[in-house]
Amino acid sequence: MTAPTREDERFMAAALRLARRSLGLTSTNPSVACIIVKDGTIVGRAVTAPGGRPHAETQALAEAGEKARGATAYVTLEPCSHHGKTPPCADALIASGVARVVISILDPDERVAGRGVVMLRDAGIAVDIGALHAGGEQTLEAYLMRQRMKRPHVALKLAVSQDGMIGRTGEGQVRITGAISRAQVQVLRAETDAILVGIGTAAADDPDLTVRLHGLEDRSPIRIVLDRRLDLPVRSKLVRSAQEVPVIVVADASLDENAATRRAALEAAGAEVLNADAIPDLLTALASRGISSLLVEGGARAARAFLDAGLVDRILLFTGPITIGEDGIRSPFDRQSIPAGFVLRRTARYGDDIFEDYERNI
Ligand code: AOF
Ligand code: ZN
Protein backbone atom coordinates (compact mmCIF):
# COMPACT_ATOMS: atom_id res chain seq x y z
CA MET A 1 0.00 0.00 0.00
CA THR A 2 1.34 3.42 -0.91
CA ALA A 3 0.61 6.77 0.73
CA PRO A 4 -1.96 8.80 -1.21
CA THR A 5 -0.43 11.37 -3.55
CA ARG A 6 -1.50 15.02 -3.82
CA GLU A 7 -3.41 14.04 -6.96
CA ASP A 8 -5.16 11.20 -5.10
CA GLU A 9 -6.26 13.63 -2.40
CA ARG A 10 -7.50 16.14 -4.94
CA PHE A 11 -9.72 13.59 -6.68
CA MET A 12 -10.89 12.05 -3.41
CA ALA A 13 -11.83 15.55 -2.18
CA ALA A 14 -13.91 15.99 -5.34
CA ALA A 15 -15.55 12.61 -4.75
CA LEU A 16 -16.38 13.50 -1.12
CA ARG A 17 -17.94 16.81 -2.24
CA LEU A 18 -20.06 14.92 -4.75
CA ALA A 19 -21.12 12.38 -2.11
CA ARG A 20 -22.14 15.14 0.31
CA ARG A 21 -24.52 16.61 -2.25
CA SER A 22 -26.72 13.51 -2.12
CA LEU A 23 -26.87 13.14 1.67
CA GLY A 24 -30.47 12.49 2.65
CA LEU A 25 -31.42 11.23 -0.82
CA THR A 26 -30.03 7.69 -0.87
CA SER A 27 -31.39 6.22 2.36
CA THR A 28 -31.19 3.46 3.46
CA ASN A 29 -27.99 3.28 1.44
CA PRO A 30 -25.08 5.62 2.15
CA SER A 31 -24.33 8.36 -0.36
CA VAL A 32 -21.14 7.16 -2.04
CA ALA A 33 -19.31 8.82 -4.94
CA CYS A 34 -16.98 7.39 -7.58
CA ILE A 35 -14.70 9.35 -9.89
CA ILE A 36 -12.75 7.62 -12.66
CA VAL A 37 -9.55 9.30 -13.80
CA LYS A 38 -7.49 8.48 -16.88
CA ASP A 39 -4.22 10.35 -17.52
CA GLY A 40 -5.21 13.10 -15.10
CA THR A 41 -8.65 13.65 -16.65
CA ILE A 42 -12.03 12.71 -15.19
CA VAL A 43 -13.73 10.27 -17.57
CA GLY A 44 -16.60 9.17 -15.33
CA ARG A 45 -18.22 10.40 -12.13
CA ALA A 46 -21.34 9.43 -10.24
CA VAL A 47 -22.99 9.29 -6.85
CA THR A 48 -25.36 6.64 -5.45
CA ALA A 49 -28.73 7.20 -7.13
CA PRO A 50 -31.74 8.55 -5.18
CA GLY A 51 -33.28 5.67 -3.25
CA GLY A 52 -29.88 3.93 -3.08
CA ARG A 53 -29.55 2.19 -6.42
CA PRO A 54 -27.78 1.93 -8.77
CA HIS A 55 -24.58 2.30 -6.76
CA ALA A 56 -22.01 4.95 -7.68
CA GLU A 57 -19.40 2.75 -9.35
CA THR A 58 -21.59 1.15 -12.02
CA GLN A 59 -22.87 4.55 -13.14
CA ALA A 60 -19.40 6.10 -13.25
CA LEU A 61 -18.07 3.09 -15.19
CA ALA A 62 -20.93 3.35 -17.66
CA GLU A 63 -19.97 6.96 -18.33
CA ALA A 64 -16.27 6.10 -18.71
CA GLY A 65 -16.91 3.14 -21.05
CA GLU A 66 -13.69 1.92 -22.71
CA LYS A 67 -11.75 4.79 -21.14
CA ALA A 68 -11.93 2.96 -17.80
CA ARG A 69 -9.27 0.51 -19.02
CA GLY A 70 -6.05 1.28 -17.15
CA ALA A 71 -7.70 4.14 -15.23
CA THR A 72 -7.84 4.89 -11.48
CA ALA A 73 -11.21 4.76 -9.67
CA TYR A 74 -11.65 6.97 -6.58
CA VAL A 75 -14.42 5.64 -4.34
CA THR A 76 -15.45 7.20 -1.01
CA LEU A 77 -16.56 3.81 0.41
CA GLU A 78 -15.15 0.34 -0.28
CA PRO A 79 -16.89 -1.10 -3.36
CA CYS A 80 -19.47 -3.71 -2.43
CA SER A 81 -18.83 -7.43 -2.81
CA HIS A 82 -22.34 -8.72 -2.14
CA HIS A 83 -25.17 -9.62 -4.44
CA GLY A 84 -27.87 -7.29 -3.14
CA LYS A 85 -30.46 -5.70 -5.36
CA THR A 86 -27.56 -5.03 -7.75
CA PRO A 87 -24.49 -7.17 -8.57
CA PRO A 88 -21.21 -6.42 -6.72
CA CYS A 89 -19.48 -3.17 -7.70
CA ALA A 90 -16.13 -4.92 -7.19
CA ASP A 91 -17.01 -7.22 -10.13
CA ALA A 92 -17.99 -4.25 -12.27
CA LEU A 93 -14.65 -2.55 -11.52
CA ILE A 94 -12.74 -5.74 -12.37
CA ALA A 95 -14.64 -6.20 -15.64
CA SER A 96 -13.98 -2.58 -16.65
CA GLY A 97 -10.20 -3.05 -16.63
CA VAL A 98 -9.35 -0.28 -14.13
CA ALA A 99 -5.75 -0.58 -12.96
CA ARG A 100 -6.09 0.98 -9.53
CA VAL A 101 -8.79 1.72 -6.95
CA VAL A 102 -8.37 4.37 -4.22
CA ILE A 103 -10.78 4.05 -1.27
CA SER A 104 -11.36 6.48 1.60
CA ILE A 105 -13.28 4.25 4.05
CA LEU A 106 -13.68 0.47 4.40
CA ASP A 107 -17.33 -0.64 4.46
CA PRO A 108 -18.40 -1.97 7.90
CA ASP A 109 -21.49 -3.63 6.35
CA GLU A 110 -20.95 -7.26 7.35
CA ARG A 111 -21.74 -8.40 3.80
CA VAL A 112 -18.72 -6.39 2.58
CA ALA A 113 -16.20 -5.69 5.42
CA GLY A 114 -12.99 -5.96 3.42
CA ARG A 115 -14.23 -8.51 0.89
CA GLY A 116 -14.52 -5.82 -1.77
CA VAL A 117 -10.81 -5.07 -1.39
CA VAL A 118 -9.88 -8.76 -1.50
CA MET A 119 -11.85 -9.29 -4.72
CA LEU A 120 -10.11 -6.33 -6.38
CA ARG A 121 -6.63 -7.38 -5.26
CA ASP A 122 -7.20 -10.99 -6.28
CA ALA A 123 -7.97 -9.69 -9.75
CA GLY A 124 -4.60 -7.90 -9.85
CA ILE A 125 -5.93 -4.38 -9.23
CA ALA A 126 -3.80 -2.07 -7.03
CA VAL A 127 -5.90 -0.91 -4.06
CA ASP A 128 -5.00 2.01 -1.77
CA ILE A 129 -7.10 2.58 1.35
CA GLY A 130 -7.40 5.62 3.58
CA ALA A 131 -7.15 8.65 1.28
CA LEU A 132 -8.74 11.62 3.14
CA HIS A 133 -9.86 9.23 5.85
CA ALA A 134 -11.11 11.97 8.19
CA GLY A 135 -13.20 13.57 5.44
CA GLY A 136 -14.59 10.15 4.55
CA GLU A 137 -15.54 9.46 8.16
CA GLN A 138 -17.34 12.81 8.29
CA THR A 139 -19.21 12.39 5.03
CA LEU A 140 -20.28 8.87 5.97
CA GLU A 141 -20.76 9.61 9.71
CA ALA A 142 -24.44 8.74 9.78
CA TYR A 143 -24.07 5.49 7.84
CA LEU A 144 -21.03 4.46 9.90
CA MET A 145 -22.88 5.16 13.16
CA ARG A 146 -25.81 2.94 12.14
CA GLN A 147 -23.51 0.14 10.97
CA ARG A 148 -21.17 0.25 13.96
CA MET A 149 -23.47 1.22 16.85
CA LYS A 150 -26.84 0.06 15.49
CA ARG A 151 -28.35 3.48 16.08
CA PRO A 152 -28.71 6.66 14.01
CA HIS A 153 -26.24 9.53 14.24
CA VAL A 154 -27.94 12.24 16.35
CA ALA A 155 -27.52 15.96 15.70
CA LEU A 156 -29.11 18.45 18.09
CA LYS A 157 -30.11 21.78 16.59
CA LEU A 158 -30.81 24.76 18.84
CA ALA A 159 -31.61 28.41 18.08
CA VAL A 160 -30.78 30.48 21.15
CA SER A 161 -31.17 34.19 21.96
CA GLN A 162 -28.42 36.38 23.42
CA ASP A 163 -29.76 35.65 26.91
CA GLY A 164 -29.87 31.88 26.40
CA MET A 165 -33.58 31.44 25.63
CA ILE A 166 -35.21 29.30 22.93
CA GLY A 167 -38.68 30.89 23.06
CA ARG A 168 -41.17 32.79 25.16
CA THR A 169 -43.64 31.09 27.52
CA GLY A 170 -47.15 30.88 26.11
CA GLU A 171 -46.14 32.11 22.68
CA GLY A 172 -45.78 30.07 19.50
CA GLN A 173 -42.65 30.29 17.43
CA VAL A 174 -40.40 33.24 18.30
CA ARG A 175 -38.05 34.38 15.55
CA ILE A 176 -34.65 34.14 17.14
CA THR A 177 -32.55 33.75 13.99
CA GLY A 178 -32.60 35.42 10.58
CA ALA A 179 -33.41 34.27 7.07
CA ILE A 180 -29.99 32.80 6.26
CA SER A 181 -29.98 30.62 9.38
CA ARG A 182 -33.50 29.46 8.64
CA ALA A 183 -32.46 28.48 5.11
CA GLN A 184 -29.49 26.61 6.56
CA VAL A 185 -31.86 24.66 8.80
CA GLN A 186 -33.84 23.67 5.71
CA VAL A 187 -30.63 22.33 4.16
CA LEU A 188 -29.87 20.40 7.36
CA ARG A 189 -33.34 18.88 7.20
CA ALA A 190 -32.87 17.91 3.57
CA GLU A 191 -29.62 16.10 4.42
CA THR A 192 -31.09 14.05 7.26
CA ASP A 193 -33.22 10.90 7.28
CA ALA A 194 -35.49 11.88 10.19
CA ILE A 195 -36.26 14.95 12.26
CA LEU A 196 -37.62 14.91 15.81
CA VAL A 197 -39.48 17.28 18.14
CA GLY A 198 -41.14 16.86 21.54
CA ILE A 199 -44.89 17.21 21.99
CA GLY A 200 -44.34 20.57 23.74
CA THR A 201 -42.89 22.08 20.57
CA ALA A 202 -45.38 20.29 18.34
CA ALA A 203 -48.31 21.67 20.38
CA ALA A 204 -46.98 25.21 20.90
CA ASP A 205 -45.60 25.89 17.41
CA ASP A 206 -47.75 23.60 15.24
CA PRO A 207 -44.79 23.19 12.84
CA ASP A 208 -44.96 21.11 9.68
CA LEU A 209 -41.19 20.40 9.70
CA THR A 210 -41.01 19.92 5.96
CA VAL A 211 -38.35 21.22 3.58
CA ARG A 212 -39.64 24.22 1.68
CA LEU A 213 -36.40 25.55 0.23
CA HIS A 214 -36.62 25.96 -3.53
CA GLY A 215 -35.19 22.90 -5.27
CA LEU A 216 -35.19 20.75 -2.14
CA GLU A 217 -38.96 20.36 -1.72
CA ASP A 218 -38.81 16.61 -2.40
CA ARG A 219 -36.27 16.01 0.35
CA SER A 220 -38.39 16.24 3.49
CA PRO A 221 -37.25 13.73 6.11
CA ILE A 222 -39.54 11.50 8.15
CA ARG A 223 -40.98 13.50 11.07
CA ILE A 224 -41.01 12.09 14.60
CA VAL A 225 -42.83 13.44 17.66
CA LEU A 226 -41.98 12.34 21.22
CA ASP A 227 -45.48 12.20 22.60
CA ARG A 228 -45.73 9.79 25.54
CA ARG A 229 -49.49 10.11 26.06
CA LEU A 230 -50.49 10.68 22.44
CA ASP A 231 -51.57 14.29 22.83
CA LEU A 232 -50.70 15.33 19.28
CA PRO A 233 -53.88 16.85 17.79
CA VAL A 234 -55.19 15.10 14.70
CA ARG A 235 -55.73 18.61 13.28
CA SER A 236 -52.04 19.55 13.68
CA LYS A 237 -50.11 20.42 10.54
CA LEU A 238 -47.88 17.41 11.17
CA VAL A 239 -50.74 14.92 11.09
CA ARG A 240 -52.59 16.69 8.31
CA SER A 241 -49.56 16.29 6.04
CA ALA A 242 -48.88 12.67 7.06
CA GLN A 243 -50.01 11.36 3.67
CA GLU A 244 -47.27 13.34 1.90
CA VAL A 245 -44.42 13.00 4.43
CA PRO A 246 -44.47 10.19 7.03
CA VAL A 247 -45.08 11.03 10.71
CA ILE A 248 -44.13 8.72 13.58
CA VAL A 249 -45.62 9.43 17.00
CA VAL A 250 -43.56 7.86 19.79
CA ALA A 251 -45.69 6.86 22.79
CA ASP A 252 -45.19 4.99 26.05
CA ALA A 253 -45.68 1.26 25.69
CA SER A 254 -48.16 1.19 28.60
CA LEU A 255 -51.03 3.54 27.80
CA ASP A 256 -54.56 3.57 29.21
CA GLU A 257 -57.72 2.85 27.27
CA ASN A 258 -58.42 6.48 26.42
CA ALA A 259 -55.15 6.48 24.58
CA ALA A 260 -56.34 3.60 22.39
CA THR A 261 -58.96 5.96 20.91
CA ARG A 262 -56.37 8.68 20.29
CA ARG A 263 -54.06 6.12 18.78
CA ALA A 264 -56.76 4.91 16.40
CA ALA A 265 -57.53 8.50 15.37
CA LEU A 266 -53.88 9.28 14.67
CA GLU A 267 -53.47 6.08 12.68
CA ALA A 268 -56.63 6.71 10.73
CA ALA A 269 -55.19 10.11 9.78
CA GLY A 270 -52.07 8.43 8.40
CA ALA A 271 -49.61 8.79 11.29
CA GLU A 272 -47.74 5.80 12.63
CA VAL A 273 -47.66 5.15 16.38
CA LEU A 274 -44.50 3.54 17.72
CA ASN A 275 -44.09 2.32 21.28
CA ALA A 276 -40.77 3.07 22.92
CA ASP A 277 -40.23 3.79 26.60
CA ALA A 278 -36.75 5.23 26.39
CA ILE A 279 -34.58 7.01 23.87
CA PRO A 280 -32.17 4.09 23.32
CA ASP A 281 -35.17 1.87 22.41
CA LEU A 282 -36.39 4.47 19.96
CA LEU A 283 -32.97 4.79 18.31
CA THR A 284 -32.64 1.02 17.97
CA ALA A 285 -36.06 0.87 16.33
CA LEU A 286 -35.17 3.68 13.92
CA ALA A 287 -31.82 2.09 12.98
CA SER A 288 -33.48 -1.23 12.24
CA ARG A 289 -35.64 0.57 9.68
CA GLY A 290 -32.55 1.95 8.00
CA ILE A 291 -32.67 5.47 9.46
CA SER A 292 -29.04 6.60 9.76
CA SER A 293 -29.38 10.25 10.75
CA LEU A 294 -31.68 12.03 13.18
CA LEU A 295 -31.97 15.79 13.65
CA VAL A 296 -33.42 16.77 17.03
CA GLU A 297 -35.04 20.17 16.55
CA GLY A 298 -36.67 20.96 19.86
CA GLY A 299 -37.62 21.91 22.31
CA ALA A 300 -35.76 22.15 25.60
CA ARG A 301 -37.16 18.91 27.03
CA ALA A 302 -36.37 16.79 24.00
CA ALA A 303 -32.88 18.30 23.85
CA ARG A 304 -32.29 17.53 27.52
CA ALA A 305 -33.57 13.98 27.17
CA PHE A 306 -31.07 13.22 24.41
CA LEU A 307 -28.22 14.97 26.25
CA ASP A 308 -28.99 13.16 29.52
CA ALA A 309 -29.00 9.84 27.67
CA GLY A 310 -25.54 10.69 26.27
CA LEU A 311 -26.96 10.25 22.78
CA VAL A 312 -26.01 13.50 21.03
CA ASP A 313 -23.18 13.28 18.51
CA ARG A 314 -23.27 16.79 17.11
CA ILE A 315 -24.60 20.14 18.30
CA LEU A 316 -25.64 22.70 15.70
CA LEU A 317 -26.02 25.94 17.60
CA PHE A 318 -27.49 29.10 16.07
CA THR A 319 -27.23 32.19 18.28
CA GLY A 320 -29.42 35.13 17.24
CA PRO A 321 -29.06 38.84 18.10
CA ILE A 322 -32.27 39.25 20.12
CA THR A 323 -32.82 39.24 23.87
CA ILE A 324 -36.00 37.57 25.17
CA GLY A 325 -36.02 38.43 28.86
CA GLU A 326 -37.70 37.06 31.91
CA ASP A 327 -40.63 35.20 30.35
CA GLY A 328 -38.21 33.23 28.20
CA ILE A 329 -37.93 29.46 27.97
CA ARG A 330 -34.37 28.67 28.93
CA SER A 331 -32.21 26.60 26.61
CA PRO A 332 -30.43 23.59 28.17
CA PHE A 333 -27.19 25.44 27.29
CA ASP A 334 -25.83 28.29 25.21
CA ARG A 335 -22.49 29.35 23.71
CA GLN A 336 -21.08 29.97 27.16
CA SER A 337 -22.13 26.60 28.57
CA ILE A 338 -21.60 23.94 25.91
CA PRO A 339 -21.99 20.45 27.45
CA ALA A 340 -18.73 18.76 28.41
CA GLY A 341 -17.13 16.51 25.84
CA PHE A 342 -17.96 18.58 22.75
CA VAL A 343 -15.40 20.37 20.62
CA LEU A 344 -15.99 23.20 18.19
CA ARG A 345 -15.43 22.10 14.59
CA ARG A 346 -16.70 25.03 12.58
CA THR A 347 -18.18 28.45 13.02
CA ALA A 348 -19.89 30.80 10.56
CA ARG A 349 -21.76 34.10 10.52
CA TYR A 350 -25.20 33.99 8.97
CA GLY A 351 -26.32 37.63 8.82
CA ASP A 352 -26.60 38.76 12.45
CA ASP A 353 -26.45 35.17 13.74
CA ILE A 354 -23.51 33.05 14.80
CA PHE A 355 -23.53 29.40 13.81
CA GLU A 356 -21.37 26.84 15.63
CA ASP A 357 -20.93 23.17 14.84
CA TYR A 358 -19.76 21.06 17.79
CA GLU A 359 -18.82 17.41 17.63
CA ARG A 360 -18.64 14.89 20.41
CA ASN A 361 -15.01 14.26 21.18
CA ILE A 362 -14.63 10.50 21.33
C1 AOF B 1 -21.17 0.60 -3.20
N2 AOF B 1 -21.47 1.72 -3.88
O3 AOF B 1 -22.71 3.55 -4.18
C4 AOF B 1 -23.13 2.27 -2.27
C5 AOF B 1 -22.76 1.11 -1.54
O6 AOF B 1 -29.22 -2.80 -0.53
P7 AOF B 1 -28.02 -2.85 -1.42
O8 AOF B 1 -27.87 -4.15 -2.13
O9 AOF B 1 -27.92 -1.66 -2.33
O10 AOF B 1 -26.75 -2.77 -0.46
C11 AOF B 1 -26.59 -1.75 0.48
C12 AOF B 1 -25.15 -1.73 0.88
O13 AOF B 1 -24.36 -1.34 -0.25
C14 AOF B 1 -24.81 -0.72 1.95
O15 AOF B 1 -25.01 -1.22 3.25
C16 AOF B 1 -23.33 -0.53 1.68
O17 AOF B 1 -22.61 -1.63 2.16
C18 AOF B 1 -23.27 -0.56 0.17
N19 AOF B 1 -23.40 0.78 -0.40
N20 AOF B 1 -21.77 0.33 -2.03
O21 AOF B 1 -20.35 -0.20 -3.66
C22 AOF B 1 -22.44 2.56 -3.49
N23 AOF B 1 -24.13 3.09 -1.86
ZN1 ZN C 1 -21.94 -1.52 -4.93
Number of domains in the chain: 2
Give the pLDDT confidence score for residue 155 in this predicted structure: 98
**Do 104 and 196 fall within a single domain?**
no
Give the pLDDT confidence score for residue 131 in this predicted structure: 93
User: Does residue 1 sit within a domain?
Assistant: no
CA–CA separation, 118 vs 172, rounded Å? 57
**Do 95 and 157 fall within a single domain?**
no
| Residues of the chain falling short of pLDDT 70 | 1-2, 172
pLDDT tens per residue, range 228-249: 999 999 999 999 999 999 999 9
Q: What's the pTM value of the predicted model, to 2 decimals?
A: 0.92
Closest CA to 224 of 187, 174, 188, 276: 276
Residues in the chain: 362
* CATH at 22: 3.40.140.10
**Do 137 and 156 fall within a single domain?**
no
CB 196 within 8 A of CB 232: no
User: Does residue 34 sit within a domain?
Assistant: yes
- State in Å: Cα 256 to ligand 1 middle: 43
CB 357 within 8 A of CB 313: no
Report the SS3 class of residue 157.
Answer: strand
**Do 133 and 214 fall within a single domain?**
no
**136 labelled as ligand-binding?**
no
* CATH at 308: 3.40.430.10
**Do 215 and 194 fall within a single domain?**
yes
Q: Closest residue (by CA) to atom 7 of ligand 1?
A: 84
**How far is C-alpha 214 from the chain's CA centre?**
20
**Do 171 and 284 fall within a single domain?**
yes
**Do 102 and 83 fall within a single domain?**
yes
SS in 3 state form for 73-135? Answer: EEEEECCCCCCCCCCCHHHHHHHHCCCEEEEEECCCCCCCCCHHHHHHHHCCCEEEECCCHHH
- State in Å: Cα 2 to ligand 2 middle: 24
Q: Is 301 exposed, middle or buried (0-12, 13-18, 19+ CB in 10 A)?
A: middle
**Do 233 and 175 fall within a single domain?**
yes
Report the SS3 class of residue 194.
Answer: strand
Q: Which of 27, 74, 80 to mutate to test the pocket of ligand 1 (most atoms within 8 A of CB)?
A: 80
Domain of 201 in residue numbering reads as 152-360
User: Does residue 294 sit within a domain?
Assistant: yes
**Do 204 and 350 fall within a single domain?**
yes
- Residues forming beta bridges with residue 123, ordered by sequence position: none
**Do 266 and 297 fall within a single domain?**
yes
User: Does residue 87 sit within a domain?
Assistant: yes
User: Does residue 201 sit within a domain?
Assistant: yes
Question: Ligand 1 pocket: which residues have CB below 6 Å?
Answer: 29-30, 32, 48, 52-53, 55-57, 77, 79-80, 84-86, 89, 107, 109, 112
Pick from 126, 144, 162: which residue ends a domain? 144
**Do 211 and 62 fall within a single domain?**
no
Give the pLDDT confidence score for residue 170 in this predicted structure: 80
CB 56 within 8 A of CB 47: yes
CB 276 within 8 A of CB 254: no
User: Does residue 52 sit within a domain?
Assistant: yes
CA–CA separation, 302 vs 183, rounded Å? 23
**Do 53 and 187 fall within a single domain?**
no
Please report the ipTM that was assigned to this predicted complex.
Answer: 0.94
- State in Å: Cα 187 to ligand 2 middle: 27
CA angle 79, 82, 87 (to 5 degrees): 85
Q: At what angle do helices 89-96 and 56-64 cross, to 10 degrees?
A: 20
Is 326 annotated as catalytic? no
- State in Å: Cα 59 to ligand 2 middle: 10
User: Does residue 106 sit within a domain?
Assistant: yes
Q: At what angle do helices 89-96 and 115-122 cross, to 10 degrees?
A: 20
Give the pLDDT confidence score for residue 201 in this predicted structure: 92
**240 labelled as ligand-binding?**
no
CB 338 within 8 A of CB 358: yes
Q: Which atom of ligand 1 is nearest to the CA of 86?
A: 8
User: Does residue 198 sit within a domain?
Assistant: yes
Q: Is 322 exposed, middle or buried (0-12, 13-18, 19+ CB in 10 A)?
A: middle
Pick from 87, 115, 144: which residue ends a domain? 144
Pick from 97, 126, 144: which residue ends a domain? 144
